[in-house]
Amino acid sequence: MSKPSFFISQNDQDVGPVPFEQLIMLMRDGKLGENTLVRLTTRQEYIKLGDLIRNMKSNNVMRESDPLHGIKAEKISETTDLSSKSSSGIRSFVKGFLWLLVLGGIAFMIIAPPLKSPTSEKHRENDAASDTVEVRLENESGSPSSPDLTKNGIQDYRNEFISLNILNRKIIQSQLKSLGHYKSVIDGVWGPSTASAVSAFADKRTDLSAQPDKVYGYLIDRELRSPSLLPPAQPLFSQLLWNKFSERRIARLKIQASSDTGYFIKVRPSGTKTDLLAATISPGGSLETEVPLGSYDLVYATGDTWYGEEALFGHNTQFYQTDRPMIFSQQGSTIKGVVISLVKRAGGNLRSNRLNSTDF
């Protein structure tokens, strides 16, 4: 079984692939932070580096059946001779590129004048972090720009921004535009114009403590008071929208909905934000599907009017997560599934806790 490799998300581009061990070294050297977003080379979902390392440490032995908190070991698939040669060539190129980086680093250490010793480990990490953000970016109109990415911890603002759903990202840009900070198109895409606008707004609103969640929460609340970005309403059906499971789906999952609200549900490996299945359930309806064996969390959104997967139930959407994971297991020839009733009942054995939209 091959070891997993990851892409690092930097400036809206994936850099890599990078082995897990090298990610740890880069984080230990202060060149990557806990909030740096990474993703497995075989998946599209991102996870924060700190969460990834904690998850990997809690799964020392990697088996094919392990959920591994959403991070799977790469499977070796059948390929043609041509694709095998291509893969081998790519691996050789990556190895050569990494060697060039190493040799380049050694050459720099020999040629460059000696640096002053840092006064503390924290000082050294800050210096390393500042070295990694001196890059040129393309702004929304395509012209070069070099915003100060260290100002107000703008990298944390970026990571928080891209973790939001597309509607909330557009709301943030729209509100920044109405406040005179944002001059570009409202597309929900992070770029230099968005970074500059967020930085300028955060500098002005010191009462928000320069915390990304508070800054974005304030801007989203402004939209809620005067809605302007909702798409047309759509009919809501009980249906599976998509699934991203790579393992065989053999365990039954059935969800019954209350008659007074609609539901948008997501299934993710326990303890992660890696969504592997999404579905809608109409008021009073039910949904039945299959999932692989393992432990999963159920998160869901509710509301009266459905606007699609991007806007969900609009600005009044409420988010929840069940208080314990769903366990799908097999004993002998018996496969144990899960049936959940999302209906309020006295003495019910399953509770739901409110969830922030950023955690959904």
What is d(CA 128, CA 53) in angstroms, rounded to the nearest whole number? 20
Whether residue 134 is predicted with pLDDT greater than 50 in this model: the reply is: no
The reply to whether 173 falls in a domain is yes
| Residue 91: per-residue pLDDT | 54
pLDDT per residue as tens digits for the range 85-98: 444 454 555 555 55
CATH code for position 317: 2.60.40
Same-domain pairing of 15 and 64: yes
Confidence (pLDDT) at 131 = 31
pLDDT digits (tens, 9 = 90+) for 172-185: 998 898 888 999 99
**Which of 28, 45, 70 delimits the end of a domain?**
70
The reported pLDDT for the residue numbered 153 is: 76
SS3 129: helix
The β-bridge partners of 39 are: 7
Q: Confirm whether 341 is domain-assigned.
A: yes
pLDDT at 139: 37
Number of domains forming the structure of the chain:
3
Mark whether 301 and 275 lie in a shared domain. Answer: yes
Same domain, 145 and 250: no
Look at strands 251-257 and 338-342 and give their pairing.
Answer: parallel
Looking at the fold, whether 204 and 282 belong to one and the same domain comes out as: no
User: Which residue range(s) make up the domain with 300?
Assistant: 239-359
- 64 falls within a domain: yes
Residue 6, both tokens: 């990851």
CA dihedral defined by 5, 24, 70, 89, rounded to 10 degrees? 0
- Sheet strands (E) in the chain: 5-10, 13-19, 37-40, 47-48, 137-138, 144-145, 239-243, 251-257, 262-269, 277-281, 286-291, 294-303, 318-322, 326-331, 334-336, 338-342, 352-354
CATH code of 13's domain: 3.30.1490.40
What average pLDDT does range 302-321 have in this prediction? Answer: 88
Please report whether residue 26 resides in a domain.
Answer: yes
**Is 45 inside any structural domain?**
yes
Is the pTM higher than 0.85? The answer reads: no
Predicted pLDDT at 289: 96
Residues 244 and 353 in one domain: yes
Percent of the chain residues past pLDDT 70, beyond the cut? 71
Based on the fold, state whether residues 209 and 247 are members of the same structural domain.
no
More confident residue, 129 or 45: 45
Residue 23 lies in a domain: yes
- 180 in any annotated domain: yes
For 321-339, the pLDDT digits (tens) are 999 999 999 999 999 999 9
Whether residues 153 and 216 fall in one domain:
yes
Looking at the domain assignment, is residue 86 inside a domain?
no
Please give the Cα distance from 316 to 358 (Å, whole number): 15
What separation in angstroms does the CA of 342 have from each of 96, 186, 306?
54, 36, 18
